Amino acid sequence: MHVALLQTAVCADETTNMRTAASCIRWAAQQGADIAVLPEMFCCPYDPSIFAQYAQPQGGKRWQQLSALARAHNLYLVAGSVPECEGEHLYNTSFVFAPDGAQIARHRKAHLFDVAFEGKPAFRESDSFCPGHGITTFDTPFCRCGLMICYDIRFPEYALETAEAGADVIFVPACFNQRTGPAHWELLFRARAADNQIFMAGVSSALDWQATYHSYAHSIAVSPWGDVLAQLGTRPENHIVSFDLSRLAAVRRQMPLASHRKSYQNHT
């Protein structure tokens, strides 16, 4: 399975961002990608104070453009994430489209990034977004895939439930920052891959020091053994990584974690 990691530049103009995404998706198709993956909030700056300005409903203009791109280039499209509105509610949402343009999955970010680092203003996604619920999987001719968004990866039980639902690959549109990224980005992707014996792919926007939010970038792909198969830098960049799905059975046969896993009781 050939996966395109599309680490795009993001600006305040959505039209420009959509053109950038379209150009990257076209490149992915030309390179033979089966699945193209965009970053979290690829259509607008990562700034909770302005998400509502960019929000559109499922089926809206942006959704139609993404569907058309998947269909035009005959590939699966994990369309990063976008601000999605439904009535008065706003969600951080990832849509997945099949090569015929049909929507086959919608994941609303379940764990919202509400943090307060010492000496820094608090960052609260919940001031803008409502949380999603449940896990998300979708089927392709290659394997069943799972979907999470950014902060979702910090919860090992969430990845475990997704893997137990049959996902052999989990895609994670994300946008770690310059504090959390150096400390935990590679660590978390390698841990979730090794814990669950699955492939992991995280796609971030490129770093822009002029923006209000400084993305760590470093889009990444990891094998079920925890090997880093690819990791990008900080600039806008596209990369094709190949997932050899036969490795799944080999890793699981040699170290059968699923059959060794137990439930535990507190004996204190």
Active centre residues (catalytic): 40, 109, 150
Distance CA 151, CA 73 (A): 30
As given in the structure block, the two tokens for residue 166 are 């049959």
Task: With CA atoms as reference, report the closest residue to 39 among 88, 75, 73, 5.
Answer: 5
**Cα–Cα distance between 215 and 232 in angstroms, integer?**
13
Write the DSSP string, the chain: -EEEEEE----S-HHHHHHHHHHHHHHHHHTT-SEEEPPTTTTS-S-TTTHHHH-B-TTSHHHHHHHHHHHHHTSEEE---EEEEETTEEEEEEEEE-TTS-EEEEEE-SS--EE--TTS--EEGGGT-----S--EEE-SS-EEEE--GGGGG-HHHHHHHHHTT-SEEEEEE--BTTHHHHHHHHHHHHHHHHHT-EEEEEEPPP-TTSSS-B----EEE-TTS-EEEE--SSSEEEEEE--THHHHHHHHHS-HHHH--------
> Crossing angle for the helix pair 180-196 and 156-164, nearest 10 degrees?
30
